[in-house]
Amino acid sequence: MQNLHHAVAVGGIELPGNLFLAPVAGYSDAAFRSVCIDEGADLCFTEMVSSEALTRGHSRTQELLVRADNEKAWAIQLFGSQPAVLARACEAIIPLEPLVVDLNCGCPVPKIVRNGAGSALMREPGKLADIVRAMSLALAPAGIPLTVKIRLGWDAQSINYHEVAGLAVEAGAAAVTLHARTRAQAYSGTADWTAISQLVRDLRVPVFGSGDISSAEAVLRFMVETGAAGVMIARGAMGNPGIFRETLKLLEGGTSPVMTTAQKAEIARRHLALSVVYLGERTACVEFRKQFCSYTKGSKAGAELRNEAVHASSAAQFEGLFQRWVEAAGI
Looking at the annotation, which residues are catalytic? 107
Q: Is the dihedral of CA 131, 133, 137, 139 positive or negative?
A: positive
Least distance in angstroms from the C-beta of 324 to ligand FMN: 27
Whether the Cβ atoms of residue 99 and residue 73 lie closer than 8 Å to each other: yes
Can residue 231 be called a binding residue for ligand FMN (CB under 6 A)? no
Per CB under 6 A, which region of 63-71, 102-110, 160-168, 298-306 contacts ligand FMN? 102-110
In the region spanning residues 80 to 99, those forming contacts with ligand FMN, defined by CB under 6 A, are: none
Binding ligand FMN (rule: CB under 6 A), the pick from 214, 226, 256, 261 is 214
How far apart, in whole angstroms, are the C-alpha atoms of residue 288 and residue 313?
A: 9
Closest Cα to residue 173, out of 201, 228, 210, 132? 132
Q: Name which of residues 9 to 68 contact ligand FMN (CB under 6 A).
A: 22-26, 47-48
Distance CA 318, CA 259 (A): 21
- Interaction between residue 234 and ligand FMN (CB under 6 A): yes
How far is Cα 318 from Cα 29, in angstroms, rounded to an integer?
Answer: 19
Specify the residue, 261 or 271, whose C-beta has the smaller distance to ligand FMN.
Answer: 271
Single out the residue of 46, 1, 50 nearest to residue 20, CA to CA: 46
Concatenating the DSSP letter of every residue in 113-125 gives: HHTT-GGGGGG-H
- Confirm or reject binding of residue 179 to ligand FMN (CB under 6 A): yes
Residue 147 CB, shortest distance to ligand FMN, in Å, is 11
**Which residue lies nearer to ligand FMN by CB, 178 or 326?**
178
Distance (Å, whole) CA 114 – CA 126:
18
Instruction: Pick the closer one to ligand FMN by CB: 215 or 317.
Output: 215
Query: Does 187 help bind ligand FMN (rule: CB under 6 A)?
Result: yes
What residues make contact with ligand FMN under the rule CB under 6 A? 22-26, 47-48, 77, 104, 106-107, 149, 179, 187, 191, 210-214, 232, 234-236
